[in-house]
């Protein structure tokens, strides 16, 4: 029994020693500083997006659907001839039309959309003018192309990290430290525009359909995009 108790005490002592590194790792850290750095740049909106639509009304829903389908198919086939333009189908909705009392269905109305986007503004402008012979303008918007966004984000990320390191060094010197180590760092981008609809003068776009008329100059503008670096450092004291 005496030997057994001494063995148990020795095992308990070893267990306490083994737990010391873990306890040390959980000790509170001091001289921690929270920092934020932000950089920005102007990025050109190099992607043009146009929404066109066909809308009609008929008492026969079958004939109405056939009419809309034929109109949209013609537009898609025409748009496919312009390789610089990306085509996608938008929403398509059909709903009943009621009489003045709102009790009896007198017909049906249907609307279908076609979305066109391209970095070649003149090509898309010309195609839009041609398609306006059969379709109507839903809107025009400008955004930043995915490839352009990635390139700008990569450049801003490097600038944001450099700005964070510069601030970390300033904070270290202000506290009289001999160096620092980064505890955490979060990078976030903002300011990249989402496509927003805005009306485009139909007369201006329709003129493009005339081969004698030059394509109008379109200024998409720029957007200020930002990259922020938020994090914590621990200042190492001498």
**What's residue 191's pLDDT?**
72
What CATH code is carried by the domain that includes residue 112?
3.30.70.360
| pLDDT for res 219 | 67
Pairing of strands 222-236, 47-58: unpaired
Q: Are 114 and 87 in contact (CB under 8 A)?
A: yes
Asked, for residue 148, whether it belongs to a domain, the answer is no
Domain that holds residue 138: 48-143+200-219
**Rounded Cα distance, 88 and 86, in Å:** 7
188: CB partners within 8 A, 6+ apart:
227, 228, 230
Residue 211 domain-assigned (yes or no): yes
Q: Is residue 36 part of a domain?
A: no
Give mean pLDDT in consecutive 10-residue pieces for the chain, a chain of 238 residues: 47 44 56 94 92 96 95 96 94 93 92 96 94 94 90 94 96 94 93 54 49 57 90 94
Which two three-digit tokens encode residue 21?
A: 């590194």
Residue 32 has a pLDDT of: 93
Residue 17 lies in a domain: no
Q: How far is CA 15 from CA 2, 10, 19, 77, 237, in A?
A: 20, 9, 6, 78, 33
Domain count for the chain? 1
């Amino acid at each position: 029994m005496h030997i057994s108790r001494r063995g148990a005490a020795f095992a308990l002592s070893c267990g306490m020693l083994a737990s010391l590194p873990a306890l040390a790792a959980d000790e509170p850290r001091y001289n921690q500083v929270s920092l934020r750095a932000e950089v920005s740049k102007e990025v050109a909106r190099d992607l043009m997006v146009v929404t066109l639509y066909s809308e009609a009304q008929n008492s026969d829903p079958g004939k109405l659907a056939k009419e809309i389908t034929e109109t949209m198919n013609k537009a898609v086939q025409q748009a496919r001839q312009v390789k610089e333009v990306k085509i996608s189908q938008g929403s398509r909705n059909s709903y009943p039309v009621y009489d003045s009392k709102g009790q009896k269905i007198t017909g049906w109305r249907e609307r279908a959309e076609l979305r066109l986007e391209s970095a070649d503004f003149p090509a898309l402008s010309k195609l839009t003018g041609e398609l306006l012979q059969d379709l109507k303008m839903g809107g025009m918007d400008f955004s930043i192309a995915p490839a352009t966004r990635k390139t700008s984000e990569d450049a801003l990320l490097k600038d944001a990290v450099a700005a964070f390191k510069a601030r970390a060094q300033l904070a270290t010197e202000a506290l009289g430290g001999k160096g620092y180590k980064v505890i955490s760092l979060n990078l976030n981008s903002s300011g990249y525009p989402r496509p927003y609809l805005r009306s485009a003068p139909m007369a201006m776009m329709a003129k493009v359909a005339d081969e004698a008329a030059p394509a109008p100059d379109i200024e998409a503008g720029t957007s200020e995009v930002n990259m922020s670096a938020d994090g914590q450092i621990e200042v190492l004291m001498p």
